[in-house]
Amino acid sequence: MPITEVSKIWMDGELVDWADATVHILTPTLHYGWGVFEGVRAYATDRGPAVFRHREHMERLHRSAEILQMDIPFSVDELMEGTREVIRAAGVESCYIRPLAYLGYGEMGLNPLPSKVSVCIAIWPWGTYLGDEGLLNGIRAKVSSWTRIGANMIPTGAKACGVYINSSLAKVEALKAGYDEAILLNEHGRVAEGSGENIFVVRDGVLMTPALSEGVLDGITRASVIQFAQDLDIPFVEANLLRQDLYTADEAFFTGTAAEVVPIRSVDEREIGAPGPVTKQIQDLFFDVVKGKSERYAGMLDYVDDRT
């Protein structure tokens, strides 16, 4: 997916021209993957662009950094203001937002602690991650031959750069085999998550997702969907899921910032079918909320301008 350029990128508190937002080749993060990042989205609403769960994302960035012993020199509020500035500068109505905390140039070696921590916030217009057709009719997923990295290998609660080698290996394998997305099992052989999404299944009207202790990212979309389900009176449990539970699911879907809420139509060629009623209900509510059409969840949006 080629990046669409916008005017500016926020780097350590300054708005820098897109083409000048560069780092030195000896930036340690590039070599060892020691860095943390976020994926956030701003949606077009009647009151201008609005960032979905903005504070929660920046708080998670700080938590990820804490796990990796990186001191982010900007507060959550400063980072949020940085996002708003860069969106205003670009003049876009909707976009994907990529905050990244990385080790700056100057030190090298496997000890990250002496390095200075830098932060950038880039934005660009980004359409549906798994395709419009996938959003509507569901995507085809494959259980990966790659095992989800365990919490005692690299902490799974941190959205750490290097972890994504694991995700990308699974993604490429799935794409090459003709599927849209991978589902990774954890070291215990239980269902963990997609390459960049949390996973939910529905059986006999009960919505289920693996617990965070299964080694999955504490997804902000996941948490929102759990809240929506409770408010919609959809029975919900965190459950240990086996591969066979995917095959016998009545419904299944992925959640994530890039992916949004995407129905899963089949797993390993086992048909789950067209998006079911629970998936549709959750998906409809999600899109109402992000587009600013829900009074009840208005607090989940951070409006970039003061348009009313």
Query: Residue from 45, 198, 209, 266 that binds ligand PY5 (CB under 6 A)?
Result: 198
By CB under 6 A, residue 207 contacts ligand PY5:
no
**Sole binder of ligand PY5 in the list 36, 68, 158, 217 (CB under 6 A):** 217
How much is the CA Rg of the chain, to the nearest whole Å? Answer: 19
Contact flags string 242-271 toward ligand PY5, x per CB under 6 A: -------------xxxxx------------
Listed residue (91, 145, 95, 155) closest to 122, CA to CA: 95
Phi, psi of 149, deg, nearest 5: -60, 140
Q: Sketch the per residue contact string, 140 through 169, with ligand PY5: x for CB under 6 A, - otherwise.
A: ---------------------------x--
User: Least distance to ligand PY5 from the beta carbon of 201, Å?
Assistant: 15
Rounded Cα–Cα distance for residues 138 and 181 (Å): 11
Between 115 and 207, name the residue whose CB sits nearer to ligand PY5: 207
Q: Nearest approach, Cβ of 255 to ligand PY5 (angstroms)? A: 6
The count of residues interacting with ligand PY5 (CB under 6 A) is 16
Rounded CA-CA distance 70/153 in Å is 18
Is residue 159 part of the annotated active site? The answer reads: yes
Residue from 196, 210, 215, 263 that binds ligand PY5 (CB under 6 A)? 196
Q: What token pair was written down for 8?
A: 């500016």
Instruction: Give me the catalytic one of 142, 159, 171, 291.
Output: 159
Alpha carbon 158 to chain centroid distance?
A: 12
Which structure tokens are listed for 148? 């989800």
Which residues between 165 and 184 bind ligand PY5 (CB under 6 A)?
167
103 or 258: CB nearest ligand PY5: 258
In whole angstroms, the minimum distance from the beta carbon of 225 to ligand PY5 comes to: 9
Which residues ranging from 27 to 46 are in contact with ligand PY5 (CB under 6 A)? 39
Q: How many residues does the chain have?
A: 308
Minimum distance, C-beta of residue 98 to ligand PY5, in the bound complex (Å): 8
Least Å from the CB of residue 223 to ligand PY5: 8
Q: Is residue 221 at the binding interface for ligand PY5, with CB under 6 A as the rule?
A: yes
The verdict on 209 binding ligand PY5 (CB under 6 A) reads no
In the bound state with ligand PY5, the residue whose beta carbon lies nearer, of 8 and 98, is: 98
Q: Which is nearer to ligand PY5, 220 or 301 (CB)?
A: 220
Which residues are designated catalytic? 159
Binding residues (CB under 6 A) for ligand PY5: these are 39, 167, 193, 196-198, 217, 219-222, 255-259
